[in-house]
Structure 1
């Protein structure tokens, strides 16, 4: 049993057993990330619909929205902290054990949100408690992504399908988005008009059931062969986070900037849309929820598809095509939204997530492959989560502020275009490891040039 938990012995598995472990790893990673993103998106959705009214009732509606989104942004600030903490342990202790801790941390924090009293009961302390729990959520998510991607990607037995395999943990984002929107929609429909009074808490209560399911699944997988190999060869770094910052600082920064085209627009299209749609356009909350649900369903198919496409045409090329499309879609999105016609609004929201899938599908492999194995959890997590500070967290705040000043959605579209341009440049500067052998350490002499398999791109 100890051998299984540590990852020892995975190199001795038969091909059939290895394939079985790959399937288990993909399922465990996908279900785990679905649960984690359900928790995270649930908070995002309720921020725009509930928190400004219940926790900042004395503020002007626009100011209250900004205050609520400031709490929302705290979760993004916390994500690099989680990346630093769990990246260290993911490279020191293992992918599996670290993922179990991140799941528990995220799930319990989300469950606790259901118990937070409102401003009417304890005044500003309600907002303080929300901020603390949101920070804990962010720490959990900060450590989750890197481990989930590596758990799938490092079990892949061939280099030719790594983009497709690594895209499945990304599938957890639309799946979590779907479940979170569905939960809010269901509780708002069946609560008899009591959504603000108590029903918004129900989806947070339900998260504890999902955590129990995810925990059971993650306890029944083995450690990845790549980490088992590192253990066997005694190549575990004492301080992997510090080492990756010292050895691969450019890769960390490029990984953060390459996400600008993906993360900032995504949270505008899925979180800010509720404020913009209900407050500015005067459309129903349920229409927006249904549209986001439909967009999430479309991503069930488009994310793995574009992950597969990156195996065929290359990670960098696929990513740059997607980033260019993101830069254009913002203007189309707000043109369609501003018609105020339900059909066009629905179509705009669904359309907006197609370019997102074009970058999000190949993104996991594109970033994770950039880092050498013994520092991969730390480097990929830190690069990925730094984008939360510069892109995801500020995006709804920036969108709200831009609209308040310019009173036009096109100002927000220009911001999306700027994010896309930054990502295009970052992607162009990144290396492309499509179909290369990532089991070798990139900074070791034998990994360069001699075999041609793991040569670091210029």
Structure 2
């Protein structure tokens, strides 16, 4: 391994043997996947605790629904910050390299998450607790905004053939279900250990121990090599001075369409994995541990369905698989809420575990679908902006919209209709995107 790393650092990627190239590809996939897992552990930990604790801890003078809306408003600010992170780290990722940008995103995200563990509640410092929490949430959002594009490109740009880009690019995205699993497992474990003390101190422990994971991720990322595609751009002298401005000038259509294509993927995801806690515990009076266990099960299923969907997109086309996933997500939303409203623990468990399968038919191919829309010299900026603009349109507002719809209608079917509308938007936007499956994308 050490010999391969030395050779790779002194020879161009085109001169590597097949075995050496495979070794670099494996390391790039591992670095992207593990680092992304750590960052999404941090992000989902915040999401889960928002629905369970933050409304009572930081907004105790509001009634339940208003407090939930206020807590999810702070949650949404992290999504507003994500396009800013995409622009910042897209610029540096296209200017100085994927590796350097990814190290910075990890540090930002990790330190902010660690500090959340020490934010005092309303009873100690009043509204200032919510203010500090908001600042840390924005820093988290900036870090995550630059993470996705870099981790995906780190893997995809080491793929030697065009025929496996969808499968290779899907692996870093396993960080999402893996992070979701770890976050919910940590909350479930410390919920059991702390008992009635979970709302006061038990929730803080998973945030504090995240600093250990950050150290592990930093060690892994410091040891990886820059991608062949970026090295080729640098050797040709075609590095853009202002990649964000250039991608918005040359590829505005692709940026907008990729953002809209994510509506049916991102909005339902945060309803299924974050809003479900406030809805299930507060409205339906379901067990917190039942919901946590079910989301754990869903994340384990996604560890299989995400790479499988990426592989299917290599065989049948990125756009086709993505559109199938969007259609199934819109339909499943009504099944999902029908099963939740039975209040039957087995049916609730099944509804939640299966909720991410249609989503994963979109999320698996999504990395390659979006990244392939942009040339190498602008790929970090373009892919990151398209991906993260959906955070403002879909991910951040989704729990807020779901909470407001529930307050007005007292029915989960209104939320299902919202998900269906998002799915239709995704279908239209994806149909308008070019499909670059198995085509050469580095000659542009």
Whether 2:108 is the aligned partner of 1:105: answer yes
Q: 1:380 aligns with which of 360, 379, 383?
A: 383
2:32·2:152 contact (CA, 8 Å) conserved in 1?
Answer: yes
2:318·2:437 contact (CA, 8 Å) conserved in 1?
Answer: yes
TM-score w.r.t. structure 1 length? 0.95
Give the SS at the match of 2:195: coil
Q: Which residue does the alignment assign to 1:122?
A: 125
For residues 383-437 of structure 1, give each alpha carbon's deviation from its aligned partner in whole angstroms, at most 9, with x where no partner exists: 0000000000000000000010011100000000000000000000000010011
2:257·2:432 contact (CA, 8 Å) conserved in 1?
Answer: yes
* In structure 2, C-alpha distance between the alignment counterparts of 1:410 and 1:151, rounded to whole Å: 40
* In structure 1, C-alpha distance between the alignment counterparts of 2:35 and 2:435, rounded to whole Å: 28
Change (3 A) 1:128 1:8: farther
* In structure 1, C-alpha distance between the alignment counterparts of 2:125 and 2:222, rounded to whole Å: 39
* In structure 2, C-alpha distance between the alignment counterparts of 1:324 and 1:296, rounded to whole Å: 21
Q: Which residue does the alignment assign to 1:306?
A: 309
2:190·2:198 contact (CA, 8 Å) conserved in 1?
Answer: yes
Q: How does 1:285-304 map to 2 (within 5 A)?
A: 285-304=288-307
2:8·2:16 contact (CA, 8 Å) conserved in 1?
Answer: no
For residues 115-136 of structure 1, give each alpha carbon's deviation from its aligned partner in whole angstroms, at most 9, with x where no partner exists: 1011011000000000000000
* In structure 2, C-alpha distance between the alignment counterparts of 1:7 and 1:437, rounded to whole Å: 26
* In structure 2, C-alpha distance between the alignment counterparts of 1:272 and 1:32, rounded to whole Å: 25
Q: How far is 1:9 from its partner? A: 3.2
User: How many residues in Structure 1 have an aligned counterpart in Structure 2?
Assistant: 441
Q: Which residue does the alignment assign to 2:347?
A: 344
1:7·1:227 contact (CA, 8 Å) conserved in 2?
Answer: no
Q: How does 1:193-342 map to 2 (within 5 A)?
A: 193-342=196-345
* In structure 2, C-alpha distance between the alignment counterparts of 1:383 and 1:438, rounded to whole Å: 17
Give the SS at the match of 2:223: coil
- Which stretches of structure 1, 4 residues or more, deviate above 4 A after TM superposition? 1-8
* In structure 2, C-alpha distance between the alignment counterparts of 1:346 and 1:236, rounded to whole Å: 50
Q: How far is 1:4 from its partner? A: 9.1
Give the SS at the match of 1:191: helix
CA RMSD of aligned residues (A): 1.5
Whether 2:380 is the aligned partner of 1:415: answer no
* In structure 1, C-alpha distance between the alignment counterparts of 2:420 and 2:395, rounded to whole Å: 15
Q: 1:393 aligns with which of 396, 400, 408?
A: 396
Q: How far is 1:439 from its partner? A: 1.8
* In structure 1, C-alpha distance between the alignment counterparts of 2:423 and 2:60, rounded to whole Å: 36
Q: Which residue does the alignment assign to 2:43?
A: 40
2:302·2:356 contact (CA, 8 Å) conserved in 1?
Answer: yes
Q: How does 1:14-163 map to 2 (within 5 A)?
A: 14-163=17-166
**Gapped runs of 5+ residues in structure 1?**
442-458
Q: Which residue does the alignment assign to 1:455?
A: none
1:96·1:222 contact (CA, 8 Å) conserved in 2?
Answer: yes
2:268·2:398 contact (CA, 8 Å) conserved in 1?
Answer: yes
Q: How far is 1:193 from its partner? A: 2.1
Q: How far is 1:11 from its partner? A: 3.5
2:310·2:365 contact (CA, 8 Å) conserved in 1?
Answer: yes
Q: Which residue does the alignment assign to 2:368?
A: 365
Q: Which has the higher helix share?
A: 2
* In structure 1, C-alpha distance between the alignment counterparts of 2:261 and 2:91, rounded to whole Å: 23
Q: How far is 1:438 from its partner? A: 1.7
Q: How far is 1:60 from its partner? A: 0.7
